[in-house]
Amino acid sequence: MYAKYPRTMHFDWSLSLQNDDRRLETNEHFIGKRVIVSEKYDGENTTFYIDHLHARSMDSKHHPSRNWIKSFHGKVKWKIPDSWRVCVENCYATHSIEYRRRYGNALPSFCMGISIWKQDNKCMSWDETVDYFKFLDIVPVKVLYDGIYNENILKQIAKDQNPKLIEGYVCRVADGFSYEDFGTHVAKYVRARHVQSSEHWMNSEIVPNEEIE
């Protein structure tokens, strides 16, 4: 079953809403629950299946910036069960943020794991996800906070981030949840003016990011 990655709502304190972005109406689904706050990477959302892959737009066509992720998918796809989806961020090409060793924000991998969805269209719990990423040889997104939801902590993380080096963060409930609940169980904070390039990256020269040596 192919499926488009859902839209992620913005927290009230998120600084950059564009086009059809929406703010989270209530945080009640986070309160009292263990949440995972992870770094938001400036890449291209990509979904893996055992026999296919696509960017967030399911009719995404060929683009040279996707060659690396296609090659990576070819190495791991046989490990993905039928009707499962593995969602990752393709960070090969530089968009607005330059991931460079000299800046101290080089990437552990150009493929950063986000979530895994089983055949029943439910997202795995975070702990299960991390275990399966190990099996797939996929590096999970960097966790900035793992604990009970605390709005003050999340706001402080936003203040502490360097917007020149980090795009923001994503918060999800640690437990598993259904596809229909994505809009209330996942939310993001994004830096101000997070798209800072004058031309869309797909129309520009492809400049690879850098991985940690």
Sorted by where each starts, the structural domains of the chain and their CATH numbers stand as 9-202 (3.30.470.30)
Q: Give strand pairing partners of 189.
A: 169
Q: Indicate the pTM of the whole model.
A: 0.92
| Coil, strand or helix at 128 | helix
Computed from CA positions of residues 192, 21, 185, 55, in that sequence, does the dihedral angle turn out positive or negative? negative
Tell me if 149 sits within 8 A of 11, measured CB to CB. Answer: no
pLDDT tens, N- to C-terminus, the chain (213 residues): 789 999 999 999 998 777 667 899 999 999 999 999 999 999 999 999 999 999 977 676 778 889 999 999 999 999 999 999 999 999 999 999 999 999 999 999 999 999 999 999 999 999 999 999 999 999 999 999 999 999 999 999 999 999 999 999 999 999 999 999 999 999 999 998 645 444 555 667 899 999 997
Residue whose structure tokens are 């963060």? 169
> Which token pair is 47?
């979904």
Tell me if 140 sits within 8 A of 129, measured CB to CB. Answer: yes
CA 203 to each of CA 1, 150, 200: distance values in angstroms, whole numbers, following the listed order: 31, 40, 6
> Which token pair is 76?
């791991």
